[in-house]
Chain A
Amino acid sequence: MTIPEIFNILQEKFPEAELVLEENNPDPIIRAKCEAIADISLLLRDDPDFSFDSLMCLSGVETVEEFQTVYHLYSMLHNHKVTLRAGGTKEEELIVPTVSHIWPTADWHERESFDLFGIKYTDHPDPRRILLPDDWVGYPLRKDYEPQKTWHKIPLTAIDYKEEDNGDES
Chain B
Amino acid sequence: MSTSNPAKMHLKVKCEDSATEIFIIDGRFNLCDRGIGYTETELEPGIYKVKVRAGFETYEQHVIVSDHDESLTIPPFSFVSPAPLAGTAKTHEFHMGAAEVGSKNPDLVKGHGSSIFIFSRDWTSQTQSSAAPPNIPNPGLGLSLREMNGDVIADLTTAGKRSDSWEPWVSFNVELEPGCYRLNLRLPKGGSIEQTLVACSGWQTQVFLLQSYYDGTDADTKRADLQGASIQLAPLDMGFKSDNPLWRLSELARLGLANERKVLSKDLREMLVGKFENPMLGLYGAHLLLLEAEPDMKLLNEVVDNLHKLLPSGHPDLDALDLFLKRVAPAKFEVPPMLRKSWTHIVNATAENPQIVPPDSLAAEAALHQWGSGTWLLWQHEEAQASTQRGLETIGKVAVMLSNAEVMLRSRLRTATLEGQFEKTDSPFAAISKLRAKRKKRALPAAVRDLMPPQTLKGADPQRRPLAQLNEQDVNHLVQSLCIPRANLERIIKKLETDTEEETEES
- B partners with A: no
> Which residue numbers of A lie inside 8 Å of B, CB to CB?
none
> Which residue numbers of B lie inside 8 Å of A, CB to CB?
none
